[in-house]
Amino acid sequence: MSSHDPAPAAAPVSEGHYRAIVEAQAELVSLARPDGTLVYVNPSYARQVGSTPAALVGRSLYEHVPEAERAAVQALIAEVLASGRSVWSENRILNGQGQTRWIAWTNGVQVEGGETLLLSVGRDVTERRRLEEELRDSAAFVRNVADKLPLRIAYVDRERRYRYVNEAHCKRFGLTREQVLGRTRDELLGHATPTPIDARIKAVLAGQAQQFEYDEPFDGELRRFEVRLVPDQREDGEVHGYFYLGQDITERARSERALRAISLDAQRQSDILRLVADAIPTTVVVVSAEGRYRFVNRAFERMTGRPREQIVGRTPVDILGAVEADRRRPYIAQALAGETVSFELDKPGEDGMHWFELNCIPLRLAGGEVDGFVGISQDITQQRREQVRLTELSQRDPLTGLLNRAGFELAMERHIQSGGGARLGLLYIDLDRFKPVNDQHGHAVGDRLLAQVAQRLTGLVRPVDAVARMGGDEFTILLVDLAQRAHAEAVAAKVVAALGLPFEVDSLQLVIGASVGVAHGVEAEGGATGLVRRADERLYRAKADGRGRLAS
């Protein structure tokens, strides 16, 4: 609809329509003063803490924050109120049964009648936090079990480089796990002298499981070890490495008893380590210092649509294409220079844009030289979309459904940054006789009247324009792509006429009217602040001239 076409008839909506949007939200919504006093909560918020909205208004939001976390929450809220920016965070709250629940919050600033309030929109993420903790505990448990077993456990790839070792295997070399991983047995022992074990390794890499005993100097004496080498042979028949299980059997009787008790568990452990590498949804790759894939897991195979046999030994350009490889090139260069790098990339999908978080972790040799890097990528699309959704909700006025002050400022800044500032029109609107409505009929009637005002204003503009409630009975309209001030004045005249017509609220017929200040074009020296100031000054001139009129 053109900004100077006749105003269409406003579509009927149920009373309290926009308030109902917030009341029906599954998210927790609250408004609080800077000291934490609650002035509004929706039913979801009240249910979460085992109370009612009426009982919570006037109480402090900090009552429901565990004492140990209260200072941190207060500091974060102070930052939001001082900066005016929306901030995302997570903290625990106490529910009605005295239990703690994790809530993800988007906190922003809302201005009501000249009073600065904290607008908080939250979502219960207790289950997600529980699953994350269980996953961390599970991974730690598996590694702890492997480290406590009286076995040397390792996984060695086709290049004879250790990719996994437990604590007992590290003690064999007198090195830390980090010093062992990525190196060969000969590199660790400092020689390449052939041993009887070399023939066994060749056999297991050919797909033949090995079990044998041998003597080795250890802890100042010659001890005997029993070793099992199990080929890592995939469904395609290719052997990608082998699992090493070594047991000290110097004291034969004791070792045999221990081996009977744990041999099955050791086999299960090796199976778990093998399954985990290919079962996790996160893509994992190892890239050599020459920029060629040395290892990829099943998730990376699925992402690229190629088996690992067609990937290992090739470059990112070969597998991902020149465009995708160029996007990663500067981060790969940093990783190969020895830096741990984290970054995000987006990629169009059938259901919209997808986002991925990537981490590149350098691999170092014993001398400190970088021998490539490990690349880990995970899909964070759901998290990003949820953050965007909660952020958008935090930029809406819960009463009218219009943009709030923060949402209005972001919309104006986006248009200015895109080069459209010179063609912006701004209407600053103040209702003329709204306070008597509140005084005579109560705030509930006033709220429903504001919702109808919002509906009329929205019906006067195009979908590309933005309507906002700045707080109290003040509204703004941001008109985009206007060639002349006259077009903004035409819309302002429609606003004055539309808001001068009677409103029907319950059985009441209410007449209020409005005054409008009009400004056009963002000036280089004034920016967005200057455009708002000019519109605000002209609003006061319109009110001084008798209300129910516009000034430009």
Q: What is the predicted pLDDT for the residue at 17?
A: 47
The 3-class SS string of 425-436 reads: EEEEEEECCHHH
Distances (CA, A) of 402 to 21, 284, 398, 467, 471: 12, 45, 8, 6, 11
Burial of 307 (0-12, 13-18, 19+ CB in 10 A): middle
Lowest mean pLDDT among 72-81, 132-141, 431-440: 132-141
pTM: predicted TM-score of the whole model, two decimal places = 0.40
Residue 535 has pLDDT above 60, yes or no: yes
Q: What is the predicted pLDDT for the residue at 1?
A: 39
Measured distance CA(437)–CA(126) in Å, rounded: 44
Q: What is the predicted pLDDT for the residue at 168?
A: 86
Q: Which helix (H) or strand (E) is 42 found in, with range?
A: none
- In the sheet that holds 28-32, the strands lie side by side as 38-41, 28-32, 115-124, 100-112, 87-94
Q: What is the predicted pLDDT for the residue at 359?
A: 93
- Token representation of residue 275: 């399954």
Measured distance CA(430)–CA(476) in Å, rounded: 9
Q: What is the predicted pLDDT for the residue at 320?
A: 94
Q: What is the predicted pLDDT for the residue at 256?
A: 52
Q: What is the pLDDT of residues 483-524, one digit of tens each?
A: 888 999 999 999 999 999 999 998 899 999 999 999 998 887
Residues 515 and 503: beta-carbon distance below 8 Å: no
Q: What is the pLDDT of residues 58-71, one digit of tens each?
A: 999 999 999 999 99
CATH of 283-382, one of 3.30.450.20, 3.30.70.2190, 3.40.50.1970, 1.10.1040.10: 3.30.450.20
In sequence order, the 6+-apart residues with CB closer than 8 A to the CB of 338 are 362, 364, 370
Residues 515 and 480: beta-carbon distance below 8 Å: no
Residue 549 has pLDDT above 90, yes or no: no
- Token representation of residue 324: 């995708």
Measured distance CA(267)–CA(271) in Å, rounded: 6
Q: What is the predicted pLDDT for the residue at 80?
A: 92
Bridge-based pairing of strands 341-349 and 293-296 is unpaired
Q: What is the predicted pLDDT for the residue at 22?
A: 59
Fold classification of 395-552 is Alpha-Beta Plaits (3.30.70)
Lowest mean pLDDT among 82-91, 220-229, 499-508: 220-229
In sequence order, the 6+-apart residues with CB closer than 8 A to the CB of 441 are 505, 508, 510
- Token representation of residue 301: 């195979």
Residue 16 has pLDDT above 70, yes or no: no
Measured distance CA(382)–CA(156) in Å, rounded: 36
Lowest mean pLDDT among 145-149, 199-203, 323-327: 145-149
Q: Which helix (H) or strand (E) is 438 found in, with range?
A: helix 434-441
Q: What is the predicted pLDDT for the residue at 15?
A: 42
| Residue carrying the six token digits 């994992």 | 284
**Residue 240: which of 196, 286, 197, 198 has the closest Cα?**
286
Length of the chain: 552
DSSP 424: -
Lowest mean pLDDT among 259-268, 292-301, 366-375, 424-433: 259-268
Measured distance CA(181)–CA(433) in Å, rounded: 76
Residue spans of beta strands (DSSP E) within 125-268:
152-157, 162-165, 210-218, 221-233, 239-248
Tell me which long-range contacts 337-341 makes (C-beta under 8 A, separation of at least 24).
337/370, 338/362, 338/364, 338/370
Q: What is the predicted pLDDT for the residue at 367?
A: 86
Q: From the CB of residue 75, how many other CB atoms can be counted at a distance below 10 Å?
A: 9
- Token representation of residue 489: 């004045």
> Per residue in 380-394, is it b (16+ CB within 10 Å) or e — as a string?
ebeebeeeeebbebb
Amino acid letter, 331: Y
- Token representation of residue 104: 């993800």
pLDDT, greater one: 494 or 419: 494
Residue 113 has pLDDT above 90, yes or no: no
Share of the chain above pLDDT 70, in %: 88
- In the sheet that holds 466-471, the strands lie side by side as 466-471, 474-479, 425-431, 514-520, 550-551
Task: Enumerate the H helices of 43-176 as residue ranges.
Answer: 43-48, 53-56, 67-83, 126-148, 167-173
| Residue carrying the six token digits 């990937």 | 311
Point out which residues pair with 347 in neighbouring strands.
354
CA 456, 462, 463, 465 torsion: positive or negative? negative
- Domain ranges in the chain with CATH number 3.30.450.20: 1-124, 134-271, 283-382
Measured distance CA(294)–CA(286) in Å, rounded: 5
> Per residue in 138-168, is it b (16+ CB within 10 Å) or e — as a string?
eeeeeeeebeebebbbbbbbeebbbbbbbbb
Residue 407 has pLDDT above 60, yes or no: yes
Superfamily of the domain at 134-271: PAS domain (3.30.450.20)
CATH architecture under which domain 1-124 falls: 2-Layer Sandwich (3.30)
Measured distance CA(84)–CA(406) in Å, rounded: 8
Measured distance CA(531)–CA(541) in Å, rounded: 16
Mean pLDDT of 133-149: 73
Distances (CA, A) of 440 to 435, 443, 474, 511: 9, 9, 20, 13
**Residue 404: which of 488, 474, 481 has the closest Cα?**
474
Q: What is the predicted pLDDT for the residue at 255?
A: 45
Residues 209 and 231: beta-carbon distance below 8 Å: yes
Q: Which helix (H) or strand (E) is 469 found in, with range?
A: strand 466-471
Q: Averaging pLDDT over each range in 140-144, 314-318, 350-354, which range is the top one?
A: 314-318
| Residue carrying the six token digits 């409005």 | 514
The mean pLDDT of the chain is 85
pLDDT, greater one: 179 or 129: 179
> Per residue in 353-365, is it b (16+ CB within 10 Å) or e — as a string?
ebebbbbbebbbe
Q: What is the predicted pLDDT for the residue at 19?
A: 60
pLDDT, greater one: 388 or 396: 396
- Token representation of residue 443: 């705030």
